[in-house]
Amino acid sequence: MDGVMEQKNIFTSVLNKIGYDDLWSLIKKHVIYWALLCLVLNLSCENSDKGKLPFGTNSPPAITSVRILPEKPNVESELNVILQGRDPNYDPITYRYQWLRNDEEITGESKNALKGGIFKKGDVIRVKVTPSDGKSDGEAFLSSPVKMLNSLPCIKEIKIEPKIAYTSDNLKASVKGYDADGDSIKYTYQWEKNGVVLDEEKSDILERGRFKKGDSITVAAFPDDGETSNTSKKSTPKKSEPIVIANSPPIITSSPPNRTERNVYAYRVTANDPDNDPVIFTLKAAPKGMEIDKETGLIRWEIRYGDQGTQSIEIEACDSEGAKSFQRYTFSIGLK
């Protein structure tokens, strides 16, 4: 009670000093000031909270777009989800994914990426995404479909057989290819000799007579699964490592006689060199006194007493580059 009387006395003292008019003017100024301040604060709060719901009310998040990339995949492509979402309360959003193949759920695929190898050509893929802010789920969003397109066939390996080839050989292109869709692959070929394309040679065989010793030969293969010819995208051809046609050894074409004339053994050895190289003949094993003309291949042997029995003979034919071939045989001399 004493405190109230003391405050009343203070108020009366102040009123007596400033007067009623001045007090009223002072009150009006303060009222106007506080009114303006409240107005400014209220506008600021309205702008900052624009779009927010009243305190304590949650609104679920929403997805505005979902895309699957790449838009033109094949069975080996990895698919990824690109999406946009918003939450009215600005809460963080998490997403759940469910992939669908031909409108059927793919069991166990619940991430934002889908690895290749689990579909086939022609499959239609979509993804259903559900947003959540941890308090409630938003409406699920189903993406537009993407279709698995044809995979281009590829060549894993190409080589020429035989690896060591001569002018007498036919050359063959040996190809190993792969098609992710399991389509059968047909090949066209392009042979080159010393860097020049042999336009007329389109098969997997390059026949003898089209090359000579020392020629460098390559072959390229172009794969086609029957669908690539109808599109702008083409498979990449692959070229073999080159082979160089090797020097061919001479071929002995004659056969030794099995008889003598008047105790004289004569045999003309003949040989053919596929590269047309000159051939030199040599006796590597022969009875005493037997001789051969190194250029003509003529063998002559005068049989003497004591030469009876079985004689072993070995003839070597060697070309100018050292390639060799041999003929080995035995000859029996009887007593006369």
Amino acid at 3: G
Q: What is the CATH number of the domain that holds 139?
A: 2.60.40.10
- Provide Rg for the chain, Cα atoms: 50
Contact at 8 Å (CB) between 180 and 76? yes
Mark whether 125 and 66 lie in a shared domain: yes
The C-alpha atoms of residue 118 and residue 79 are separated, in whole angstroms, by 11
The C-alpha atoms of residue 35 and residue 24 are separated, in whole angstroms, by 17
Residues 6+ apart with CB under 8 A from 8: none
Amino acid at 20: Y
As separate numbers, helices (DSSP H) first and strands (DSSP E) second, the chain gives 2, 24
Mark whether 239 and 164 lie in a shared domain: yes
Angle between helix 2-18 and 20-48 (nearest 10): 100
Mark whether 295 and 313 lie in a shared domain: yes
As a residue count, the chain comes to 336
* Peptide bond just before 162 cis, omega within 30 deg: yes
Name the β-bridge partners of 30.
none
The C-alpha atoms of residue 23 and residue 134 are separated, in whole angstroms, by 58
Contact at 8 Å (CB) between 78 and 111? no
* Domain C-terminal end among 213, 244, 275: 244
Mark whether 204 and 220 lie in a shared domain: yes
Q: What pLDDT, on the 0 to 100 scale, is given for residue 115?
A: 93
Q: Is residue 217 part of a domain?
A: yes
Q: Is residue 54 part of a domain?
A: no
* Domain C-terminal end among 147, 174, 208: 147
Q: Is residue 97 part of a domain?
A: yes
Q: Is residue 110 part of a domain?
A: yes
Mark whether 112 and 159 lie in a shared domain: no
CA count, 13 A, side-chain hemisphere, 121: 11
For 220-274, what is each residue's pLDDT tens digit? 999 999 886 666 678 899 999 999 999 999 999 999 998 888 889 999 999 999 9
For 12-35, what is each residue's pLDDT tens digit? 554 455 555 555 565 555 555 555
Mark whether 27 and 72 lie in a shared domain: no
Q: What pLDDT, on the 0 to 100 scale, is given for residue 208?
A: 93
> Does an H or E element contain 17, and which?
helix 2-18
Percent over 90 (pLDDT), the chain: 73
Output helix, strand, coil percentages for the chain, rounded to the nearest 5: 15, 40, 45
Provide the domain limits for residue 238. Answer: 154-244
Q: Is residue 20 part of a domain?
A: yes
The C-alpha atoms of residue 300 and residue 310 are separated, in whole angstroms, by 17
Mark whether 72 and 37 lie in a shared domain: no
Mark whether 133 and 161 lie in a shared domain: no
Mark whether 16 and 41 lie in a shared domain: yes
Mark whether 325 and 256 lie in a shared domain: yes
Mark whether 262 and 295 lie in a shared domain: yes
Name the β-bridge partners of 158.
175
Q: What is the DSSP letter of 52?
A: P
Q: What is the CATH number of the domain that holds 158?
A: 2.60.40
Q: Is residue 57 part of a domain?
A: no
Q: What pLDDT, on the 0 to 100 scale, is given for residue 306?
A: 81
> Where residue 45 falls among pLDDT bands split at 50, 70, 90?
very low
For the chain, the domain total comes to 4
Mark whether 259 and 224 lie in a shared domain: no
* Domain C-terminal end among 211, 244, 277: 244
Is the whole model's pTM more than 0.85, yes or no?
no
For 117-136, what is each residue's pLDDT tens digit? 889 999 999 999 999 999 99
The torsion angles phi and psi of 102, rounded to 5 degrees, stand at 55, 45
Q: Is residue 199 part of a domain?
A: yes
Q: Is residue 289 part of a domain?
A: yes
